[in-house]
Amino acid sequence: MPEQLLFAAEVTLNGLMAGVMYSLVALGFVLIFKASGIFNYAQGVMALFAALTLVGIQDGQIPFSHLINTIFGTEMHDFGWHVPAFLAILLALGVMILFAIVVEKFILKHLVNQPPIILFMATIGLAYFMEGFGDLMWGSDIKKLDVGLPQGISGVIDETTFDWFGYGFFIDRLDIAATIVAAILVSVLVLFSQYTKQGRAMRAVADDHQAALSVGISLRFIWVLVWSIAGFVALVAGIMWGTKSGVQFSLSLIALKALPVLMLGGFTSIPGAIVGGLIVGVGEKLFEFAIGPMIGGATENWFAYMLALLFLVFRPQGLFGEKIIERV
């Protein structure tokens, strides 16, 4: 049936776009895992925190206003100004860099040379901390995030496809924007890691901590750098997802969407995160479209994991992961 085919094509396209959104979240995980071997459980909360900070700065909210008002009995809510989006993003980025420095100084520095599970646990603690801290700082009500990204159906694509096939495809303009942003982000990351001194140092650290140390690379600086970049990626992911649903607590749950992407693509590969995201996005949307109605729908949550599981049985290190060599 050509109509079914058209539908499937539309679903596939949308799946690709959704995959890009997943990849954005997964990227942050990969960056930190590659550079420091830490599975950063707090990445989702970082995205929430970054988005909260961005909205807070944009609207001129006073941080901790609720707490201050309760303790001192004052009545203040905002500074009464409105910061333009671009400046606010820069300021939010500044906060994330500050955050990276604080994390390095107070947590990572003390946990050098600990096994991965300990570092994982530290990020759990960090996630708890940030969850409460973010809410205390900016309040837990839902906020509208608007940095001028387009949203809604893309009329051009709708009409063109309608002219061609007699059925207009639905593509969200926000998804298109996300795809462009992700493409730019990845190219910048690749360029940075290939052609700058810091980028090369970062790769050296990812390759071998001790060898990197011995040639004079400052591990601490690299960690701050990596966490800052991960913070930046979290900010971008936060903006994209926050525009879609408003900024609120649930934003931290997008990390769950990134997990199967990571497993599929491999923890250590940036292209893996992108390709993994696309496969998961297309896979789950097509499955929901074709099989979902037969078995009652809402399959997307588990399908991604089943798909990843299937891939892993054949390639235990993920699609792009480094080959696991085991010696006794």
Partner 1 sequence: MLYREAGDYKTTYTEDSQTFPIKLDRIGYYSVLIIAFLVVPFVINDYWANAVLVPFLIYAIAVLGLNILVGYCGQLSLGTGGFMAVGAYACYKLMTGFPDLNIFFCVILAGFVTAAVGMLFGLPSLRIKGFYLAVATLAAQFFLVWLFNKVPWFYNYSASGQISSPERTLGGIAITGPHTEAWAKYLFCLVFVFLLAWLARNLTRGNLGRSWMAIRDMDIAAEIIGVNPLKAKLTAFGVSSFFIGVAGALFFAVYLGAAEVGEAFGIQKSFLILFMVIIGGLGSIFGSFAGAAFLVLLPVLLKNVLVGGLGWQTDIAAHLEFVIVGGLIITFLILEPHGLAQLWRIIKEKLRLWPFPH
Partner 2 sequence: MKLTKLAAVAAVALTAASPALADLVFPSMSYRTGAFAAGGIPFADGYQDYFTLLNERDGGIGGEKISVPECETGYNTEKGVECYESLKGLNPLILQPLSTGITYQLIPKVTADGIPLHTMGYGRTSAANGKVFKWVFNYPGNYWDAASIMVKHALEQEGGSLEGKSIVLLYHNSAYGKEPIRTLEELSKKHGFKLTLIPVDSPGQEQKSQWLQIRREKPDYVFFWGWGVMNQVAVQEAANIRFPMDHFVGVWWSGAEPDVLPAGEGANGYKSANFTGTGKDYPIFADIQKYVVDTGKAAGDGTSLGQVQYNRGMYAAMLAAEAARKAQELSGVKAINAAQMRDGMEALQVTAARMAELGMPNFGPEVNVTCANHGGAGVGLIQQWDAGAKKWVAITDYISSDRSVIDPLIAEDSAAYAKENNITPRDCK
Contacts to partner 1 by CB under 8 A: 39, 66-67, 70, 106-107, 110-111, 114, 117-118, 120-122, 124-133, 135-136, 140, 256, 259-260, 263, 267, 295-296, 298-299, 301-302, 305-306, 308-309, 312-313, 316-318, 324, 326-328
Residue 256 and residue 280 in contact, taking contact as beta carbons nearer than 8 Å: no
CA distance 100 to 38: 14
Q: Which of 23, 18, 96, 12 is nearest to 54 (CA)?
A: 96
Residue 102 interacts, among partner 1, partner 2, none and using kind-specific CB cut-offs from 5 to 8 Å, with: none
CB of 71 to partner 1, least distance (A): 9
How would you classify residue 171: left for phi > 0, otherwise alpha for psi between -120 and 50, otherwise beta? Answer: beta
Residue 111 interacts, among partner 1, partner 2, none and using kind-specific CB cut-offs from 5 to 8 Å, with: partner 1
CB of 257 to partner 2, least distance (A): 7
Task: Say how far residue 151 (Cα) sits from the centre of its chain.
Answer: 20
Nearer to partner 1, 131 or 175 (CB): 131
Residue 63 identity: P
Hey, is 61 helix, strand or coil?
strand
Nearer to partner 2, 48 or 229 (CB): 48
Tokens standing for residue 244: 């879609």
Longest dimension (CA), the chain: 69
Task: Give 254's DSSP letter.
Answer: G
Q: For residues 197-256, which are near partner 2 according to CB under 8 A?
A: 241, 244-246, 248-250, 253-254
Hey, is 288 helix, strand or coil?
helix
Q: Pick from 78, 146, 207, 208 the residue near partner 2 by CB under 8 A.
A: 146
Nearer to partner 2, 75 or 326 (CB): 75
Q: What is the CA radius of gyration of the chain?
A: 21
Q: Pick from 57, 273, 285, 319 the residue near partner 2 by CB under 8 A.
A: 285
Task: Give 41's DSSP letter.
Answer: T
The contact set with partner 2 (CB under 8 A) reads 7, 10-11, 14, 17-18, 21, 69, 73, 75, 77, 135, 140-142, 144-146, 151-153, 170, 172, 241, 244-246, 248-250, 253-254, 257, 284-285, 288-289, 292, 296-298, 300-301
